[in-house]
Structure 1
Amino acid sequence: MFNKKLIKKLKTKLKKIRQSRNFRISLKISGLLFFFLISYLILFLGRISPGIYVARISLAGKTPEEAVQLLSQKIKTPSRIILVGENETFEIDLEKTGFSYDFVKTARAAYELDKTGNIFYDLYKRAVLPIKNANLGLRLSFDEEKLSETLSVIAGQASIEPVHPSVKLVGKNVVVEKGQKGQELDTEKLRIEIGQSLTFAKNDPVVLSIKVIDPTLTDEEGEKLQGRAKNLINKRLFLNFEYETYSLRENDLFKFFDPKNEYLEESLSVYISDLALKINREPQNPNFIFEAGRVREFAPAKDGVKVKEELLKEMIVGNLRTLETSEEKILNIDVPFEATSPEIKTGDVNNMGIKELIGRGSSRFRGSIPSRIYNLTLAASRFNGILIEPGKVFSFNQILGEVSAETGYKQAYIIKDGRTELDDGGGVCQVSTTFFRAVLDTGLPVIERRAHAYRVGYYEQDSSVGFDATVYEPTTDFKFKNNTPGHLLIQTYSNTSTASLVFEIYGTSDGRIATTSKPVVTDVVPPPEDLYVDDPGLPEGTTKQIDWKAWGAKVWFDYEVTRDGETIYEKTFYSNYKPWQTIYLRGTGPAQ
């Protein structure tokens, strides 16, 4: 029992001795660490800590000022940097890019690396740096604009434009080009690598980072694209706005194809943006100046228009899908838009009932000789700005006046005495024909109208056969009556670039609706054989065409005007076109 108590006392005493010894050792170690820490702080007060390098140059123990001096001595600012590609080498003149090192900022960054103000982080950093060194980069700067210009030039030389897949209709065949690979310089990555090289003063060539662009199609993708394109052969998509129509044919529609997916968003957006530029407009207030019984200046009020581009894109895509997957040949889209009303309406600037557009007619004259275009433009100008009183019967010939060289007309082809010949005023019938179409669109009663002796190709460029009206003073006139509540104002527009003539009729709408039936064509007769007439006035061996062939036919269509569901006027128009032969003069005279 005695021994056990003694042993227990001895153990307790030994434990206390050991604890006292460990405490003294710990205290001594802590004191030493504190001493070294204070010594370290005093030794490197205002200086860069050990273990800190810049571009592999030790700055330990240096003040920021001394570090600047050392870096200036050790680091030479390069005048150029070499870029190496697979088959070519480029050199950048760094002076032209505004390149420079900033040693002051570099030294300051090195000094402040372990002096953040966070005492625990800073102490940890100072303890670790001698073991795990920090190699900082040099601070540098460029003229960013000049550097971008330099890299842009290099990119242009190092890049190869890819050839994107395409499909087009050549004749009757669908041709698919599968595309070719290209490459482009990764300028952002190159900029980083140039910075890395200069930051650490490596002075080694920088390898160009090239990205391969591969838009090419596989055989399977090419066949699929060709199949899609074949589904659109002989199909059309028309975009309609007011009186303009924008036609998209096969090759136009093919541009919207995404060779690897469905449709190209970018191509659709570009097309729609360009279309919107043509259509969009600000609201327009009207202009109306009446002098000497005629409107000298007129511009109707117009709503402001802004195309709903996203909606139009959806509509085009939907119609494209329909054309691709159905038997439909032609689809029409009314261009969607937002309208903004002008501050003043047309009816606010006159007391004659000229409020709105109530009728419009148009025709084309592609292929006309210059003198004919001159004449029809001159004749149309005679009608621009005229006012027609309510209840008045209008005579075309009365307003047109004399047609002769004395009144400014040139010689062009007319139908006279059963043949086509040159005479003053050829082309005037294009004006009466266009006016006739505007009157039909307005819903006015036609008092007098006569068709041409034979079919004229100009009048069927944008219209069905039978919608023409000839005039010839004093025997043939075109007349109609203004049975609307107000005056009618006539506006004419001749556009030689589009070979189009337009008549617009402004007035007061009383709710009438005019319709014309599809023309009925019967008794079609082919043209007679070509006729050659001997002419001693032409040298022997020469020919001169003086007439052109046309098919004969009888044509009629119905014209009906209704208001509130009741018919207020109706008429059937008849045309009897004779077959016309080509006539040549054949020279029989002496050679010249």
Structure 2
Amino acid sequence: MRVRNVKAILSPERSTAVAQNVTTWPHTGRTSTIRPPLGRVRRGSWLSVVLAWFLSFGLLGGLGFWRYQESYVGRIYQGVSAAGVPLGGLSSAQAAAELATRLTPVPGQRLTLRAGDRTWHPTLRELGITFDADATVARAYALGRDGDLQQQLQQQWALLWHGAEVAPVLRRDPAAVDAYLSVLARALAREPRDAHLTWKGLTARAVPDMPGRELDVAASSAAVAAALDQGATGPIELVVRERPAAVVGVDAAVQQINTLLKAPLVLTFDETTYHQTAAGVAPVTVTHRWSVDRARLAELLTLDAVTSPAGQHEYQAHLDTKALTADLQRLANAIRQFPREARFDYDPATDTLRPLIVSQDGMSLDVDTALAAVETALQRGEHTVSLPVTVTAPRVSTGEAAKMNIHGLAASGHSNFRTSPPEREINVAETARRMHGVVIPPGGEFSFNEYLGWVVDATGYAEGYIIVGNQTQVDVGGGVCQVSTTVFRAAFNAGFPITERHAHGYRVSYYEPPLGWDATVFSPWVDLKFKNDTQNYYLVESEVNLRTKDLTINLYGPDTGRRVEMVGPTILEEQPSGSPIYEDDPTLPAGTIKQVDWAHPGATVKLERIIRDAGGNELTRDVFWSDYRPWQARFLRGTGQ
């Protein structure tokens, strides 16, 4: 490749100026005075002299020009030099030889390349740049020979008076330049460094991003070529381009992290409970606290990348919602509790209530609401959060004892369980205990199964005879219906509306007489319910006399003012029990007969209740139907060894 931009010393304008700068002959210094002749001078003679003079001058000039041109045929005009080497009067071959001899050091000349604060000084040879003597001579030879005759004269005159310098023609190997620049590119290359975090303990620190850099080899090669074309040796600025980091901002994240971790997270909520004091039961507010230490908060941290329009990323810090939700769910499980109603024992002798079971508020934590509360507080820099615990008050609270106005006996129910086996007695006592102390608030509905709970051996029950289908069989819980029947009788006598009642499938001797005044339960499907339709509180208490086998259910509270009258029972239809049933039992010795069911005739029974006010006026009339199936005697016949 040849450098095209040669710095021309001569230009047409300048050559014209030189040509126009015509000087006159130099003065001799002597003064002569030309006087006209005394006589008359002829005009023609004078003109002839002037014309002759001009002709002579022109002939001499033309002869000189011709001799000058002739002497420089095939030679470089005077005044031309290249890189300081005079070439005037030399033939092309002579000039090329002269330049080859005089300009041999040119390839060793050094350039200065610069990129920022770093510089390099390669020789022209290292860049693959060589001196072209023939091309340089061609340039020199062309000076004074361009244009028409007038322009050539002007150029030649300027060369004589001012001279001209021809820049050496250098040939450049682009591959060599690129190879050299590629080496520099590897030295200059720097990968961008993303902004990131470092930790000192539990304090975050920001490390800023650093842009990368790379040498643009093509653009830098063009810059070197342009400088050489202009004859410049440097410093030549190489083209270095920045490569921005992908992550440019973590300052906001660092601030968020340090705000989040500046203190433990404390979660609180208040619970009201009751404590027994010398003066009675007093409410106490307990503040529960859970602390999430800074180390755990650091484990919950997460960074989210936010992309800018330029494609760069910044980070924002927050707590990992999924992990925090899991922590809050565990906390919610610890907080969750069902409301527990207060229970009391009434002492008729002193007409006072004594707490048996202190009430408990039901509590639940909505995890999503709690999560939002925690995030909002932390964004504000607050580290104590009051948890949004939903409190469900029990229907009966210990703190309400003073306003219950429970005084005296309102009604009672009675039954006897003589001839019950020991297992049944255990179950009667356990079931009665579960009903003891229950308070029925104004407008409240009593559910026997609600207070009965689980009927299993693990909760204190023994195996006894129960009715299943069309036969009596041994299972856990025999005797529970003794209590449900007695509760039904107390509610019947109190005049409370009976909202659910089921008769037994067959007649049971424990509950007679009277016939049709029983109530069976089978949790959770078959229940006994009645409603307190007054504005007063009523207390359920049970009394079990294991000596006399008497069971009493008392309802304490204000007199309802209702007078209850039982009408009946009336047996509308009766069916015979049928023949006994014998079943083989290999668990009994052969020849053994064991009765497990006793014969009872079937019957359809109607029992009425009339409720009157204190003046004897009828308020309501209820009818309770019982449909007892005939029950055959059932015997087990031993077939064992």
User: Greater CA radius of gyration, 1 or 2?
Assistant: 2
TM-score range, shorter chain: 0.3 to 0.5
TM-score where L is the length of structure 1: 0.42
